[in-house]
Amino acid sequence: MDARAEDTASRDGGPAADTTPSSEPDPAPSTVEEAEPAAATTRQVDTAGAARGDVRRPPGPSAALTPLAPGPTDLSSAQLLRPTRPTPQSGWRRAVFVASGGLVNPGESEADVARRELVDRVNQPLAGCYRIAMLSLKGGVGKTTTTAALGSTFASARGDRVVAVDANPDRGTLAEKVPVETTATVRHLLRDAALVRRYSDVRAYTSQGPSRLEILASDQDPAVSEAFSELDYRRTVDLLEHFYTIVLTDCGTGLMHSAMRGVLDVADSLVVVSSSSIDGALSASATLDWLDAHGYGDLVARSVAVINYVRRTSGGVDLDRVADHFAGRCRAVARLPFDPHLDEGAQIHLEKLAPRTRTAMLELAALVADDFPRAGSQVRIGPR
């Protein structure tokens, strides 16, 4: 029977076809086109099974034998950039670096490293607003100049806003330490407080120096400024702390004038300024005595004493013993060397200070900043 007859017999119920399995396996598809229909059939079957809730997965390699996919590539700057030595900032190292066009880098000197560490301390994060009261019972010790120089150091090293308030009832001179941009005073700010909504509003009442330090001036008429009360000062600080991170207050020489209680009650720390003379040191020590006697012992313990060299020499005064005296009462002691630029009593430009004076100012700012509240710590909001 030929093939056509065999097919006809099979359809008509003739003899069954030979179903004996062959001893040779079926040949595998030789091309991709031959394999694809089978794969399509499998996908159709799987889809149908999924519709019935009977999901059958095609056989695959064991999970234990499947290689893990490689993790994501670290593209951080630390991984991608080659480590480089810090650029020298001074001395022969800086000269070599500049002369070689940056090809030869001797690295930082010890002085450069120390300065960078000071800047890091000054520029550390600060939670909330930090209020610093600058005090002295004796005039002529450089308290106002120290206030402006310290505020300028903070403002130049940090990226946030710093303001100094003149709370001296006897015609304060703090506003003379920066270029005068407005004739407005703290009294005008309080008068218009209801209109202040944003930083640009309060900026109209301050003058700013080249370091970005802003100063809020006091009234120039002593008869008017004497009326600046404790409540007035509290309202002033309550307004400023919404726009500034650091508020310095240049206090008068009298601890009993009306605004002083407000200054001390809202202060986070004190900077007590003494000259390098005996009477200056005695006055500064008397300031600490008064504070202890009137319930401000916690502020004394957190204060920084400053020995300010308002003259080129200290004569026969043993300043080491003076420093030891204040170190036993205060949190830290700083020394500010005599500087011709500060001695002028005019506007302060940090770049005109002698190198050792700038370093001393950084050290003072770092000592004050060591007391900054850290993020996550409890921060007092608003005046006490």
- pLDDT tens digits for range 216-229: 998 876 556 456 78
Calculate Rg over the CA atoms of the chain.
39
Residue 316 tokens read as 């026969």
Check if the beta carbon of residue 178 is closer than 8 Å to that of residue 148. Answer: yes
Where residue 256 falls among pLDDT bands split at 50, 70, 90?
confident
Report in angstroms the alpha-carbon separations of 34 from 29, 46, 286. 5, 20, 102
- 209 phi and psi angles, rounded to 5 deg: -90, 175
Where residue 312 falls among pLDDT bands split at 50, 70, 90?
confident
The pLDDT, as a whole number, for residue 37 is 45
In DSSP terms, 248 is beta-bridged to 132, 164
Whether 4 shows a pLDDT value over 50: the answer reads no
Q: What is the mean pLDDT of residues 21-41?
A: 46
Q: Which residues contact 228 (CB under 8 A, 6 or more apart)?
A: 167, 169, 186, 187, 218, 219, 258, 259
**H runs (alpha helix) in 185-253:** 186-191, 199-203, 222-225, 230-240
Query: Looking at the whole model, is its pTM more than 0.75?
Result: no
The pLDDT, as a whole number, for residue 338 is 94
User: HSE (CB half, 13 Å, CA atoms) of 179?
Assistant: 7
Whether 45 shows a pLDDT value over 60: the answer reads no
The ranges assigned to domains in the chain are 85-122, 125-369
Residue 300 tokens read as 């004394």
Strand order in the sheet with 207-208: 207-208, 214-216, 162-167, 246-251, 130-135, 269-275, 304-308, 332-336
Q: What residue type is 127 in one-letter code?
A: A
- 180 phi and psi angles, rounded to 5 deg: -75, 120
Check if the beta carbon of residue 151 is closer than 8 Å to that of residue 248. Answer: yes
In this predicted model, which residue has the larger pLDDT, 219 or 256?
219
| Listed residue (81, 84, 153) closest to 122, CA to CA | 153
Rounded distance between C-alpha atoms, residue 190 and residue 244, angstroms? 16
- What is the per-residue pLDDT across 174-188, written as a single tens digit (0 to 9) for each? 999 999 999 999 999
Q: Give, in degrees to the nearest 5, the angle at Cα 180 between 348 and 235.
A: 100
In DSSP terms, 133 is beta-bridged to 249, 270
The pLDDT, as a whole number, for residue 79 is 67
Q: What residue type is 54 in one-letter code?
A: D
The pLDDT, as a whole number, for residue 102 is 75
Rounded distance between C-alpha atoms, residue 128 and residue 266, angstroms? 13
83-92 LR contacts (CB < 8 Å, sep 24+)? 86/112, 86/116, 88/112, 89/115
Where residue 1 falls among pLDDT bands split at 50, 70, 90?
very low
- What is the per-residue pLDDT across 47-91, written as a single tens digit (0 to 9) for each? 444 444 444 454 554 444 455 555 556 666 656 666 677 777 777
Domain 125-369: CATH class, spelled out: alpha beta
Rounded distance between C-alpha atoms, residue 246 and residue 132, angstroms? 8
The pLDDT, as a whole number, for residue 177 is 95
Q: Which residues contact 60 (CB under 8 A, 6 or more apart)?
A: none
